Structures are given as C-alpha cells and as structure tokens.
C-alpha cells in the first residue's frame, strides 16, 4: 500500500505542489486508493498521530525509523521492544498509509496510564490517536476512567480511533431479572475455543459486569465438566474489581468447561432492577450460546470515538465487536478489512482500526485548518460505503466500509 519514491516524484513533477484544501488534481488511475492519494502529495505531512498500545514499539522497524518523533512510557511499562509487537505492527500500518505523518508512541499498563497517555498526546498537539486496545472490563460496566479519558480527548478535538474488539463470539448479555428468577445459581454458557473442533486451552480472562446503581453481589464460577461424580469440578471463582465488576482468570488444560453465574441470594437483587443488563465477556474464546449484541469494547464504546470493526465476506467478521453501547450508541462507526501482519494472518479489529487511523491522518493532512481537523471523524463516517439495505448505520457495520478516496475528496471539497 506504499508508493515507490520514483512514482511519487513523477506524480508531483506533473501536478506540482497541491493546495490540499481546494486542489482539483485527478487521482492516478490503476493503483490502490492510498497510492492514488499519495500521488497528489497527500501523505500525512504536518499531521501528528499518536499510538497508545500496552505492548511496546520497535522504533527501528523499517516503516517507523524515520517517522517516530516521540516515545513515552506510562505506569512503568516498557516503550521500546526489539520484536514485532502488536504496537509496532499497528504503528507501521499507520505509517504505510500516511508515510509523512509524525508518530508519537506511548505505552501503558493501567487505566491511569491510558489517561496520562492521552493527556500527553493532547499536550503535543496530536491530531489523530490510534488506541488499538480493547478494555472489555471497562465496557462491561459502561462508565469508567477509560471511557471518560477517551471522551475528554474527543471533546478536545482529537480524532480518536479504536477497535471494537474481537469478542463478539465470546459475549453474552441478559437482564438481571431474568437471571435472578431462575434460582440462586445458573449455569449459563459453555466455554469453547475459537476453533470449534479444538478444546479450550491457555490463559482465560472473563469479565462479568452489571450496569446498575448499587449493583447486587454477583460472582462467576468456572466449572470443568467431568465424567465422574456429579460431573462438575470447580476450577476458579471471580474476584471483585469494583462494585458491579468481576474478573475471573484461569489457565485452562484441554477439557470441557462452563461458566456459572452465581447469586448469593435472590432477595439481594434490589426491587426494580429487573432490566439492569448483566454481561459476560471472554476475549479469545467462544461462549455457547453467544449474544454478540453489545460486545463493543472500550474505548470504542465511548461517545465520539471512531469505533472500527473488521469486514469479512461482505459483512462484519464473526468475531468483530458489535453495538449498542451502554448509552445506546452504535459503537461501530466503520469497518475495514484487516490486512495480514507479519506476525499474524488476521490482526482483527486492531488491524482494521490501524488502517482507518492512517486514512484519518490523510484526511487531516488534506484540510489543514484546526476546525476542519476536528471534523475528520465526521468525514470518515459520511463517506463510508454503506453495507445496510436502508443505507443507515447499523450496530454491526456502522456507517459502512471506510472509503479513503471519498473521504479525501470530501475533505478537499471536490466530491
């Protein structure tokens, strides 16, 4: 998706230096959309992009070596790594889409570090932020420091792009009243691996959230199904993170597992809370039966954030997080088809979000004035190719597939 230097030089020699705001130069035919955009000199120049990822970055990566202008670590997390980390690949995707953009890279471990990273980007005048992270615990309870920090960045004029998460098949949601009426405990879901023909194995984290004021005490149990006794073996219990939020962690050996929601006492459920939503999220695994609706992760679930899902075979990938958000928003603004990374064939919604962040940098480059840069997210949404029959946004694919050419044309006023 990058353009050879000779091709760019030839294109610029033909059209001259473009006026990015009102240029009328035609896009080059017969090349990729990004190459066509690059051919008229729109490459992310004078745009700053921040990438906030917990896995660290390799600033010597060929796509990053001339692009990185700042590195910061928050919460003690290492910012420089010497391997092809998730953060490195996400940043490299942005750099290939917007090769002249300046990149500021930051790592974090906790919500406080995420907030401080966004604050640093704002202090440095960053135009676009890519946060290729999925905070499922934050999304399970709605309001959280992650959501609030993301919303504050958007309100300050930053275009914040984030993946919707890869947990649609590992998500379940239902009303508290329906669960409480069935008894003091209820085995809800079988836990399965991503591949249907393989048993679950490896590290497991499950989030249980209840979005209600003064939520009742809930807990989650991991059960291994056995062939002896009563056929059930308790493996792990969840621990409380804060009122209304539980986290269960375990190391799985191959076997058959189920998740059991436990209520210490049905009378502990406050009257009138029957409709309070309870959700379970098991990223990296499948739940049976699953309920993908509401599986969008934070910070994509925060208002104003450009939430990006994965496009597959004419729709959204089965794993791609879906809305609605806790406040009733779509959660999914756009979808993009994730291109393979060297370390993984399908980088999921993180790969899709990185592509959209690169396009956002090109749109910001096209319209250099501050007010226009604040409209980047709106331009991306307005120019997406709809995937719904009625052309309206949906909880699955949002406004549709990101369209780099249409977005740049809209930004230049030539559509």
Which range of 123-132, 232-241, 311-320, 338-347 scores highest in mean pLDDT? It is 123-132
Which of the residue ranges 102-106, 209-213, 289-293, 382-386 would you say has the lowest mean pLDDT?
209-213
Q: What is the pLDDT of residues 236-279, one digit of tens each?
A: 999 999 888 999 999 999 998 999 888 766 555 666 666 778 88
pLDDT bin (cut points 50, 70, 90) of residue 210 is confident
Is residue 3 pLDDT above 60, yes or no? no
More confident residue, 273 or 36: 36
Is residue 145 pLDDT above 70, yes or no? yes
How many independent structural domains does the chain possess? 2
* One domain for residues 174 and 280: yes
User: 199, 193 in Cβ contact below 8 A?
Assistant: yes
pLDDT of residue 8: 24
Which of the residue ranges 4-8, 163-167, 239-243, 361-365 would you say has the lowest mean pLDDT?
4-8
pLDDT bin (cut points 50, 70, 90) of residue 178 is low
* Residue that finishes a domain, picked among 272, 288, 304: 288
CATH number of 105's domain: 3.40.50.200
* One domain for residues 111 and 158: yes
pLDDT of residue 366: 87
Overall average pLDDT of the 386-390 stretch: 83
Burial of 84 (0-12, 13-18, 19+ CB in 10 A): middle
Which of the residue ranges 68-72, 117-121, 272-276, 388-392 would you say has the lowest mean pLDDT?
272-276
* One domain for residues 262 and 350: no
Domain membership flag for residue 342? yes
pLDDT of residue 242: 87
The three-state (H, E, C) secondary structure of the chain, written as one string: CCCCHHHHHHHHHHHCCCCCCCCCCCCCCCCCHHHHHHCCCCCCCCCEEEEECCCCECCCCCCCCCCEEEEEECCCCCCECCCCCHHHHHHHHHHHHCCCCEEEEEECCCHHHHHHHHHHHHHCCCCEEECCCCEHHHHHHCCCHHHHHHHHHHHCCCEEEEECCCCHHHEEEEEHHHHHCCCCEEEEEEEEECCCCCCCCEEEEEEEEECCCCCCCCEEEEEEECCCCCCEEEEEECEEEECCEEEEEEEECCCEEEEEEECCCHHHCCCCCCCCEEEEECCCEEEECCCCCCCCCECCCCCCCEEEEEEECCEECCCCCCCCCCCCCCCCCEEECCCCECCECCCHHHHHHHHHHHHHHHHHHHCCCHHHHCCHHHHHHHCCECCCCCCCCECCCECCECCHHHHHHHHHCCC
pLDDT of residue 269: 61
pLDDT of residue 18: 36
Selection from 304, 306, 308, 280 nearest residue 294 by Cα: 280
* One domain for residues 157 and 304: yes
pLDDT of residue 9: 26
**pTM given for the model:** 0.88
Q: What is the mean pLDDT of the chain?
A: 85
* One domain for residues 228 and 145: no
Q: What is the pLDDT of residues 113-138, one digit of tens each?
A: 999 999 999 999 999 999 999 988 88
Is residue 372 pLDDT above 60, yes or no? no
pLDDT bin (cut points 50, 70, 90) of residue 141 is confident
* Residue that finishes a domain, picked among 288, 322, 356: 288
Q: What is the pLDDT of residues 4-31, one digit of tens each?
A: 223 222 222 222 233 444 445 566 665 8
Tokens 């459920």 correspond to 269
Domain membership flag for residue 130? yes
User: 398, 26 in Cβ contact below 8 A?
Assistant: no
* One domain for residues 104 and 172: no
Residue ranges making up the domain that contains 250: 168-288
Instruction: Count the neighbouring beta carbons within 10 Å of the beta carbon of residue 202.
Output: 12
Burial of 73 (0-12, 13-18, 19+ CB in 10 A): middle
* One domain for residues 143 and 173: no
Is residue 338 pLDDT above 80, yes or no? yes
* One domain for residues 159 and 54: yes
pLDDT of residue 140: 79
* Residue that finishes a domain, picked among 288, 307, 327: 288
Domain membership flag for residue 22? no
Is residue 203 pLDDT above 60, yes or no? yes
* One domain for residues 162 and 185: no
């Amino acid at each position: 998706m990058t353009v050879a230097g000779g091709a760019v030089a030839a294109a610029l020699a033909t059209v001259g230096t473009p006026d990015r705001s009102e240029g009328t130069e035609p896009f080059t035919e017969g090349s990729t959309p990004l190459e066509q955009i690059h051919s008229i000199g729109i490459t992310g120049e004078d745009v700053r992009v921040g990438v906030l990822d917990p896995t660290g970055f390799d600033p010597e990566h060929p796509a990053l070596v001339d692009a990185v202008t700042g590195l910061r670590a928050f919460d003690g997390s290492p910012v420089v790594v010497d391997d092809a980390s998730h953060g490195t690949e996400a940043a490299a995707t942005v750099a290939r889409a917007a090769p002249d953009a300046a990149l500021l890279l930051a790592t974090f471990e906790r919500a406080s570090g995420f907030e401080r990273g966004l604050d640093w980007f704002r202090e440095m005048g960053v135009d676009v932020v890519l946060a290729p992270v999925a905070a499922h615990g934050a999304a399970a309870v709605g309001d959280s420091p992650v959501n609030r920090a993301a919303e504050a960045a958007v309100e300050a004029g930053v275009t914040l792009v984030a993946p919707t998460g890869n947990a649609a098949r590992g998500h379940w949601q239902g009303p508290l009243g329906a669960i409480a009426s069935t008894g003091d405990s209820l085995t809800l879901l079988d836990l399965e691996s991503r591949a249907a023909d393989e048993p679950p194995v490896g590290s497991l984290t499950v989030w249980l959230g209840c979005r209600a004021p003064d939520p009742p005490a809930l807990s989650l149990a991991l059960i291994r199904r056995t062939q002896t006794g009563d056929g059930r073996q308790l493996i792990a219990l969840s621990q409380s993170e804060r009122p209304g939020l539980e986290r269960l962690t375990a190391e799985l050996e191959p076997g058959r597992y189920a998740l059991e929601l436990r209520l210490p006492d049905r009378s502990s459920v406050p009257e009138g809370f029957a409709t309070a939503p309870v959700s379970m999220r098991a990223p990296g695994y499948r739940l049976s039966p699953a309920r993908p609706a509401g599986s969008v992760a934070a910070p994509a679930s925060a208002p104003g954030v450009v939430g990006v899902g994965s496009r597959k075979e004419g729709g959204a990938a089965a794993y791609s997080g879906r809305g609605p958000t806790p406040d009733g928003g779509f959660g999914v603004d756009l979808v993009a088809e994730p291109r393979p990374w060297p370390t993984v064939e399908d980088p999921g919604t993180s790969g899709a979000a990185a592509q959209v962040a690169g396009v956002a940098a090109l749109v910001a480059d096209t319209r250099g004035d501050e007010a226009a840069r604040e409209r980047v997210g709106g331009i991306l949404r307005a120019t997406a190719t709809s995937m719904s029959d009625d052309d309206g946004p949906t909880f699955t694919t949002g406004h549709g597939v990101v369209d780099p050419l249409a977005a740049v044309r809209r930004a230049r006023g030539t559509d």
